[in-house]
C-alpha cells in the first residue's frame, strides 16, 4: 500500500506544527523536518513540538548530517523524539548540504556516511559504539529507531541497501530513473546478504498541485535549482544527464547560495535557472510533479509502477496549507 510523506523546512515552529497537524489529518503517514540550522528552525526542538501535536504520523529528520552532530548526539535526540511519540520516530541521514555549507564545511565522504550510520545504529541498539578511535556511550534508549539514508549516486544507493532500514531516493520521478535507483539499492542489499524487499523505499518529489503548470513550476523554481546543486555535485556517473546540460548544471552549482537555500519568491537561487531555460525544462521534467490533480496522479502512478510507491513531497510554496489539502483531498486518494 502506498504511503505519503511531507518534508518541512521550518521557517517557524508554529507553521511547522500546524503543517504537521494538517498533514496527519489529510492522510500523510510521515512528516520529515529538514536539518539546516543557519536557515531554518532547530530540527529536534521542532520535531518535539510536532510530536506533541500529533498522534499517528511518523516523524524524523529528512535529513540530518554527520558533520554538525556527533553520533551520540543524534542518537540521543531521535531517541528523545521516540520517547515523546513512542514508535513513531524515524531517522534520516545524508551527506550534508546547506547545514554544513553555511558553516564553511564540506559534505562527508561515502566512507564517512557508512561509519556514521553504523555508529548511530550501534548506539541505539547496544548503547555504545566506536567512533573515530574512541568509545561513545548512550545509557538510556529503550529501542532502535529505523534509519534511512538519503541517496542519489550509484554508490550511495548501494550503501543504503547494505546498511539502512530504508532509503530516501532523490534521483528523479521518471520511470527510468526510479528503476535505476531501485536496482542499485537492491544490489547493495544482496551484496550484504539482506532481503531487498525488506528495505523501505521512498521517492522525493518536488510537487505543486495547481491549475497552471507554468506558474506552479515558477513557484518552485528554487527547488529545481537545489536539485541541480545537490544531486549532481559529486558525480554525473550513472545519473543519465544529457551531455549538453553538464556545463549548465555546473554553472548553477557555482552560483548556488546556501544562505538562500529553498528561499521563497524571487531568490538568488531561483534566478540561476532564469538564465538556463533548457536546464529548467529538464529539471522540471525529471524532478517535478506539477499541475492539476489528474496530471499529478498520472505521473506518480508511473513512478510507482517503476518500483517506488511511497512518496515524500517537498512543495515549498507560500501557501503550504493549500498544497497539503490539495494533495490530501485530490491526489493521494487516487494512489492508495
Residue 89 has φ and ψ, to the nearest 5°, of -85, 145
Residue-level pLDDT at 180: 97
Dihedral-angle region of residue 238 (phi above 0 means left; psi in -120 to 50 means alpha; beta otherwise) = left
Q: What is the pLDDT of residue 336?
A: 87
What values do phi and psi take at 254, rounded to 5? -70, -30
DSSP letter (8 states) at residue 288: E
Q: Residue 199 pLDDT > 90, yes or no?
A: yes
| Percent of the chain surpassing pLDDT 70 | 100
DSSP bridge partners of 129: 136
Residue 29 backbone dihedrals phi, psi, to 5 degrees: -110, -5
Set out the domains of the chain in order of their start, with CATH numbers: 4-213+290-334 (3.20.20.30)
CA distance 90 to 166: 10
Q: Fill in the DSSP letter of residue 107.
A: P
Number of Cβ within a 10 Å radius of residue 91: 29
pLDDT at position 131: 97
Query: What's this model's pTM, rounded to 2 decimal places?
Result: 0.98
pLDDT at 227 over 90: yes
Cα of first residue to Cα of last residue in the chain, in angstroms, is: 6
Q: What is the pLDDT of residue 301?
A: 98
Q: Is the peptide bond before 300 cis (omega within 30 degrees of 0)?
A: no
**Predicted pLDDT at 274:** 96
Nearest to 161 by CA among 177, 185, 192, 131: 185
pLDDT of 146 higher than 90: yes
Cis peptide before 63 (omega within 30 of 0): yes
pLDDT in tens, 55-103: 999 999 999 999 999 999 999 999 999 999 999 999 999 999 999 999 9
User: Exposed/middle/buried for 321, CB within 10 Å: 0-12, 13-18, 19+?
Assistant: middle
- Helix or strand (DSSP H, E) at 135: strand 134-137
Q: Average pLDDT, stretch 222-227?
A: 98
The three cell numbers locating residue 69:
552532530
Distance CA 20, CA 181 (A): 29
Residue 212: Cβ within 10 Å count: 13
Question: 171 pLDDT exceeds 90?
Answer: yes
Mean pLDDT of 261-265: 97
Q: How far apart are CA 328 and CA 23, in angstroms?
A: 8
The chain-wide mean pLDDT, for the chain, equals 98
pLDDT of residue 70: 98
DSSP label at residue 215: H
At 234 the pLDDT is 93
Under 8 Å between Cβ of 2 and 311:
yes
Amino acid at each position: 500500500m502506498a504511503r505519503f510523506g511531507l518534508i518541512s523546512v521550518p521557517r517557524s515552529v508554529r507553521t511547522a506544527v500546524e503543517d504537521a497537524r494538517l498533514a496527519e489529518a489529510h492522510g500523510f503517514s510521515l512528516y520529515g523536518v529538514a536539518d539546516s540550522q543557519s536557515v531554518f528552525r532547530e530540527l529536534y526542538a521542532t520535531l518535539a513540538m510536532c510530536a506533541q501535536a500529533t498522534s499517528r504520523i511518523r516523524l524524523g529528520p529528512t535529513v540530518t548530517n554527520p558533520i554538525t552532530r556527533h553520533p551520540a548526539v543524534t542518537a540521543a535526540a531521535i531517541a528523545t523524539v521516540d520517547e515523546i511519540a513512542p514508535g513513531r520516530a524515524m531517522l534520516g541521514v545524508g551527506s550534508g548540504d546547506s547545514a554544513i555549507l553555511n558553516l564553511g564545511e564540506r559534505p562527508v565522504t561515502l566512507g564517512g556516511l557508512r561509519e556514521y550510520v553504523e555508529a548511530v545504529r550501534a548506539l541505539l541498539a547496544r548503547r555504545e559504539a566506536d567512533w573515530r578511535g574512541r568509545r561513545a556511550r548512550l545509557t538510556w534508549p529503550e529501542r532502535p529507531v529505523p534509519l534511512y539514508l538519503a541517496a542519489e549516486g550509484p554508490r550511495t544507493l548501494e550503501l543504503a541497501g547494505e546498511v539502512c532500514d530504508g532509503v530516501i531516493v532523490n534521483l528523479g520521478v521518471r520511470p527510468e530513473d526510479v528503476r535505476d535507483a531501485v536496482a542499485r539499492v537492491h544490489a547493495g542489499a544482496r551484496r550484504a546478504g539482506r532481503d531487498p524487499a525488506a528495505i523501505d523505499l521512498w521517492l522525493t518529489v518536488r510537487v505543486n498541485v495547481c491549475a497552471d503548470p507554468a506558474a506552479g513550476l515558477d513557484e518552485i523554481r528554487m527547488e529545481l535549482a537545489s536539485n541541480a546543486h545537490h544531486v549532481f555535485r559529486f558525480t554525473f556517473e550513472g545519473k543519465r544527464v544529457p551531455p549538453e546540460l553538464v556545463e549548465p548544471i555546473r554553472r548553477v552549482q557555482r552560483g548556488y547560495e546556501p544562505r538562500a537555500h529553498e528561499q521563497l519568491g524571487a531568490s538568488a537561487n531561483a534566478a540561476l535557472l532564469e538564465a538556463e531555460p533548457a536546464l529548467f525544462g529538464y529539471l522540471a521534467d525529471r524532478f517535478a510533479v506539477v499541475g492539476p490533480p489528474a496530471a499529478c496522479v498520472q505521473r506518480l502512478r508511473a513512478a510507482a509502477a517503476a518500483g517506488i510507491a511511497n512518496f515524500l513531497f517537498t512543495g515549498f510554496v507560500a501557501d503550504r496549507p493549500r498544497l497539503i489539502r490539495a494533495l490530501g483531498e485530490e491526489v493521494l486518494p487516487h494512489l492508495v
